[in-house]
Amino acid sequence: MRKDYSTVKGFGEREIVISKSRFIAYVERAETEQEAIDFIDKIKKMHPSATHNCSCYLIGEHDNIQKANDDGEPSGTAGVPMLEVLKKQGLKDTVVVVTRYFGGIKLGGGGLIRAYGRATTEGLDAAKVVERKLHHLMQVSIDYTWLGKVENEVRNSHYTLKEIQYADAVEVFVYVLKDEEEAFAEWMTELTNGQAQIACVDKQFIEFIL
């Protein structure tokens, strides 16, 4: 499973106007190339009369899939600057489309690069960048006599309580950052005088808005 990484929380849209040209940025999370392609096609269908629908995407743990498309703008003035914004922010699994409606004033190569870069940054701000951190879901089985103490201690710790299930014994489920599971188990053992049964039952990413 991949390590911690940053991506976008979800869909985002933001419009800016530069020298009478409208630049509308659309951002979405895409975990496969097909998802990225489908999103780009969807935006293009929304704006069939737009002057340009420039796009880029960056997918995979090691950025092994990345594409940039200028869609008729001068080579290197749209898709690549957009992609560079994603790289500079260290984002993964992200697709961006910037739709342009030409306003009659030419921006020149440098102006286009700045415009598409700014539109992408604005779109990412709308979509919200999140950090996804890998957590281990720890199951702590305890007698009911330990519930109050364990629940209180967990809630006041930096660990994240997921849920508590009540059966013959109490099952407390806690999210623990990777590499901290051993320290967590030792802590639980100490809290319960060795009366807790502790196991890792799953691994999940939890998102934190940056």
Report pLDDT for 3. Answer: 77
Report pLDDT for 210. Answer: 84
Report pLDDT for 176. Answer: 97
Distance between CA atoms of residues 206 and 197, nearest Å: 24
Report pLDDT for 93. Answer: 98
Q: Which residues contact 110 (CB under 8 A, 6 or more apart)?
A: none
Whole-structure pTM value:
0.87
Q: Is 202 helix (H, G, I), strand (E, B) or coil?
A: strand
Nearest-5° angle of CA 1, CA 164, CA 158?
60
Report pLDDT for 158. Answer: 95
CB 93 within 8 A of CB 155: no
Report pLDDT for 1. Answer: 66
Walking along the chain (210 residues) 10 residues at a time, the average pLDDT comes out as 89 98 98 98 98 98 95 98 98 98 97 98 98 96 97 97 96 96 97 97 92
